[in-house]
Amino acid sequence: MKVKFILNFKSFKMIDKSKELTASVQLINDRLHFLGKADGNEPVSIDYIPPFGDNLGYTSLELLLLSLSSCIGSAVLLFLRRMNKTISSCEIKAAGQRREEHPTGFRNIDVTILIESPDISDDDMSKVIKLTEDKYCPVYSMIRGTTDVRIRCIVNN
């Protein structure tokens, strides 16, 4: 039996994320557990650690680390692909050290980019990271000046 899929692209709503982004959070318990949604994507569980929350989701600062990592990764990969570099795998790890005084946001963040590629040089990565830091990662640009962000890259050939 053949199954035929018909897609009606006219029914898809295209969202221009280049101008404005929207998000909402809805409290789902009597503590600090929220369900976050952004432009029709899958919801994200957000909570705080005990004693105020129940640790049932990401903390807001963990989401910031994910956002920064994916923003840096997107810029780096776009530039490397434009340079026709071969990328077998890429993983980005981020660790943030919090301030002791309130607000206890990040004092500094260490980002490590792990890339497998047979043809990426240290010079290539230096250029791409500089472009990412200086111009092409909006999340990085938003925290620059308030948080020390250190990016290092490990390329396995």
**Local confidence pLDDT in tens for the 157 residues of the chain:** 455 555 555 555 666 888 899 999 999 999 999 999 998 899 999 999 999 999 999 999 999 999 999 999 999 999 999 999 999 999 999 999 999 999 999 999 999 999 999 999 999 999 999 999 999 999 999 999 999 999 999 999 8
Q: Is residue 37 part of a domain?
A: yes
Same domain (yes/no): 105, 39: no
CA atoms within 13 A on the CB side of 54: 10
pLDDT at residue 37, as a whole number: 97
Q: How far is CA 94 from CA 39, 45, 64, 139, in A?
A: 25, 20, 10, 14
Q: Quick check: is 95 in a domain?
A: yes
Residues 105 and 130 in one domain: yes
Pairing of strands 148-156, 24-27: unpaired
Q: Are residues 149 and 72 in the same domain?
A: yes
**Per-residue tokens: 155:** 């390329």
Q: State the total domains in the chain.
A: 2
Same domain, yes or no, for 35 and 111? no
Q: Can you give the residue range of the structural domain that contains 43?
A: 22-58
